Structure 1
Amino acid sequence: MLLSVNVFVSLDGVMQGPGAPDEDRSGGFDRGGWLVPHASVHTNEVVQGWFREADAFLFGRTSYGLLGGYWPKVTAPDDPIAAKLNTLPKYVVSKTLTDQEADWSPTTVLRGDIVDSVRRLKGLPGNELQVHGSWQLVQALHQAGLVDLYRLLQYPVVVGTGKRLFPDGSTPATLAAPEGSARVLPGGVVSLTLTPTAVGSLAAGAYAVESGRSTAVPH
Structure 2
Amino acid sequence: MRKIKIIEHVSLDGVIQAPGRPDEDVDGGFVHGGWVVPHFDPIVGQAIDDVHAAPFDLLLGRRTYDIWSAYWPQVARNPMADSLNAATKYVATHRPESLAWGPVEALGADVLAGIRAAKAKPGPDLVVWGSSTLTPILLGRGLADLLVLLVYPVLLGRGKRLFAADADPCELALVSTQAAPSGVIVSTYEPRGPLRTGSFEPD
Which residue does the alignment assign to 2:179?
184
User: TM-score under structure 1 normalisation?
Assistant: 0.86
Which residue does the alignment assign to 1:205?
198
Q: Does 1:195 align with 2:187?
A: no
SS at match of 1:196: strand
| Contact map agreement 1:48 1:80 (CA 8 A) in 2 | no
SS at match of 2:7: strand
1:112 deviation in Å?
2.8
Give the direction of change, closer, same or farther, for the CA distance of 1:111–1:73 in structure 2 (3 Å limit): same
Which residue does the alignment assign to 1:42?
43
CA separation in 2, counterparts of 1:116 and 1:170?
A: 19
| Contact map agreement 2:91 2:106 (CA 8 A) in 1 | yes
CA separation in 2, counterparts of 1:169 and 1:112?
A: 22
More displaced, 61-70 or 112-121? 112-121
SS at match of 1:85: helix
CA separation in 1, counterparts of 2:95 and 2:123?
A: 28
Q: Which runs of 5+ in 2 are unaligned?
A: none
Which residue does the alignment assign to 1:85?
84
Q: Which runs of 5+ in 1 are unaligned?
A: 210-216
| Contact map agreement 2:140 2:170 (CA 8 A) in 1 | no
Which residue does the alignment assign to 1:10?
11
Residue correspondences, number = 202
More displaced, 188-197 or 37-46? 37-46
Q: Tell me how large the CA RMSD over aligned residues is.
A: 1.7
Alignment of 1:148-163 (within 5 A): 148-163=145-160
| Contact map agreement 2:59 2:90 (CA 8 A) in 1 | yes
Which residue does the alignment assign to 2:65?
64
1:208 deviation in Å?
5.0
CA separation in 2, counterparts of 1:110 and 1:125?
A: 16
Of 101, 104, 109, which residue of structure 2 is paired with 1:107?
Answer: 104
User: TM-score under structure 2 normalisation?
Assistant: 0.92
SS at match of 1:206: coil
